[in-house]
Structure 1
Amino acid sequence: EIRNPILKEILLSGSISQLACIILYCFIAPLLEEMVYRGFLLTSIASSMTWPSAVVISSLFFTVAHFSVDGSLQLFIIGCILGGSYCLSGNLLVPLTIHSLYNASVLLDTTFS
């Protein structure tokens, strides 16, 4: 994901591709991932253990699902931040917003690197 050459090619290919990539990467993917990893998985796991333990476990699932060896530590940390923000706020909109902004920053970094 980080510094992905295919993503960079899509972002530089044309306005329709750029718009589709931005919508998918900054809105749709974060929404679906937050519903799965925080809304469902974290909440389900937390019913049988402490919230901090559930955050770590759901973050491990989040990391593995992204298939990024190079960025695995970064993804795990982001997963913990997203999980922690959900636990503290009780509102899925908080990690969703953070996730969207994070993905937007990755897009900007990829585009201009």
Structure 2
Amino acid sequence: MKIKDLLGILLFCVVLRAACTLLIVSRYPENEYHLDLIFQAGTEILFILLCKLLMKISFQEIKNIVGHAIGIKEVVLAMAVGVILILFTLGENGIEALIVAQFNPQKVFEIWNFRTTAGEVYPLFSLNVLSFLAVSCLVAPICEELFFRGFLLRALLEKKSLHSALIINCSIFTILHFSHEYYVSTFVFSLFLCCAYLITKSIVFCGVAHSTFNFLALMQNYSLNKYFVRSIDDVASLSSWTLEISSFVASSLVISYLFFRFMKNCDAALRWKE
């Protein structure tokens, strides 16, 4: 697989998605939520299909890239990875918000969507939430893991060193998630799942971790809506962010340990066909 072809297909789908979003906002604002979800799912699936068709990737190659199925223990471990990564993200969120609040507390509300009163949310089992779950916890994890941890990472490793391949892959993943405020944790998320794929040789493992992360992020926004209710004094107070700082420190230690353990044994992890 050629890197430039993969990136060309990805760029085409990103531009297509942006054009669709602009069209929806300008022409169909009353149906913006559901139409945007439909186009998001469509473009996620499209770029996998384009990769297969235009680059003539056989089903056997895709099967080899996806790797083996995982058992109950691996599923639980993958879900634990998702939990660790969401804790890291929440920790980054809290630390950055605390730092910014020391200079401009109001800016915290603008950047991270905190508010002084509880916001309106859809019921957990409403069509809006369930459709979002279907896209963010099923379609997106499968397509993104197959592309980034499967197609792109393998293509990079054929031409680049392990370190360069990881940095390029994770940087592209982070740039494409520009709408999020959590750039450090997005990079770490991608890096951790790249390492997980090289160790487990299973896209399914990475997909479960990705899906768990997205599900917990959704629960944070919908079910745990009170998390975002803060006063001006709260955001500037160190004691208000104790939980976030603690989760950041704990998850950072776990992630660092596992990452350095992987790098120590990276040669074995790169034996694709074992």
Settle same-fold status: TM greater than 0.5.
yes
- Would you say 1:12 and 2:122 are equivalent positions? yes
Equivalent residue number for residue 173 of structure 2: 62
Q: Provide, for residues 31-85 of structure 1, a one-character-per-residue CA deviation record: whole Å limited to 9, x for no partner.
A: 1111111111111001112334312211111000011362111100000011110
CA distance in 1, matches of 2:113, 2:206: 23
Correspondences of 1:93-108 after superposition (within 5 Å): 93-108=204-219
Structure 1 residue matching 2:220: 3-state secondary structure: helix
Q: Quote how far apart the aligned CAs of 1:16 are.
A: 1.1
Q: Quote how far apart the aligned CAs of 1:90 are.
A: 1.1
Residue among 137, 141, 146 paired with 1:35: 146
Query: What is the TM-score of this pair, normalised by structure 2?
Result: 0.37
CA distance in 1, matches of 2:212, 2:163: 23
Query: What is the TM-score of this pair, normalised by structure 1?
Result: 0.84
Structure 1 residue matching 2:122: 3-state secondary structure: helix
Equivalent residue number for residue 110 of structure 1: 221
Percent identity at matched positions? 27
In the alignment of these two chains, the number of paired residues is: 109
Equivalent residue number for residue 81 of structure 1: 192
Is 1:46–1:54's contact at 8 Å kept on the other side of the alignment? yes
CA distance in 2, matches of 1:50, 1:96: 25
Q: Provide, for residues 2-51 of structure 1, a one-character-per-residue CA deviation record: whole Å limited to 9, x for no partner.
A: 8679xx86x61661111100010111111111111111111100111233
Is 1:38–1:83's contact at 8 Å kept on the other side of the alignment? yes
- Would you say 1:26 and 2:137 are equivalent positions? yes
CA distance in 2, matches of 1:47, 1:77: 22
Q: Name the Cα RMSD after superposition.
A: 2.3
Point out the structure with max Rg over C-alpha.
2
Equivalent residue number for residue 228 of structure 2: none
Is 1:25–1:103's contact at 8 Å kept on the other side of the alignment? yes
Is 1:26–1:104's contact at 8 Å kept on the other side of the alignment? yes
Structure-2 change in CA distance of 1:91 and 1:73 (3 Å): same
Q: Gaps spanning 5+ residues in structure 2: where?
A: 1-92, 94-111, 226-274
Equivalent residue number for residue 48 of structure 1: 159
Q: Quote how far apart the aligned CAs of 1:89 are.
A: 1.1
Q: Which has the higher contact order (CA 8 A, sep 6+)?
A: 1
Structure-2 change in CA distance of 1:4 and 1:81 (3 Å): farther
Moved segments of 4+, more than 3 Å: 2-5
Q: Gaps spanning 5+ residues in structure 1: where?
A: none
